[in-house]
Amino acid sequence: MLVSEIMKTVNATLLTKDLPGQRDISHAFSADMMSDVLAYADSHMLLITGLSNPQTIRTAEMLDISCVLYVRGKKPDELSLAMAKRNGITVLCSNLSMFDACGLLYQAGIRGGIINNGE
């Protein structure tokens, strides 16, 4: 899915200025714990979260995650936004709950990853 389609699906606004052209996203990971994101999420996934401190963007940066969707109307602070822009991370914000946002995105074709417990 393109970022513009994700925005339509969860009625999200774009907080970073430029809408990237053809960034196609097929998988997502949702969590409020960055510990779990770091352990389980893959690069190029959409990160769906309600945690809005700067470590959310840091975490995305470390994992090469290119798009972060904040739910429950959470908004990143200035520092986070500046960090996102510097790293080319697209930031979206939706007023939906985590459950509703995930459900709608799933219905629209986005899938989770494989969780490899313990290997």
Partner 1 sequence: MENKIHFQYLIDGDDFTRAGEASSDIKSKLKMMNINPDAVRRVAIAMYEGEINMIIHADGGTIDVDVYPDKLTMVLKDTGPGIPDIDKAMEEGYSTAPDNIVSLGFGAGMGLPNMKRASDEMEISSVVGQGTTVTMTVLF
Residues that bind partner 1 (CB under 8 A): 32-36, 38-39, 43, 51, 53-56, 58-59, 61-64, 79, 118-119
- Amino acid present at 82: A
Closest CA to 27 of 11, 51, 12, 45: 45
Least distance to partner 1, CB of residue 9, Å: 25
Residue 20 main-chain phi, psi, to 5 deg: -65, 145
Q: Whose Cβ is closer to partner 1: residue 1's or residue 45's?
A: 45
- Amino acid present at 14: L
Least distance to partner 1, CB of residue 92, Å: 18
Angle at 101 between CA 96 and CA 103, to 5 degrees: 135
Q: Whose Cβ is closer to partner 1: residue 14's or residue 87's?
A: 87
Least distance to partner 1, CB of residue 117, Å: 8
Q: What is the dihedral of CA 48, 53, 55, 58, to 10 degrees?
A: 70
Q: Whose Cβ is closer to partner 1: residue 18's or residue 78's?
A: 78
Least distance to partner 1, CB of residue 48, Å: 14
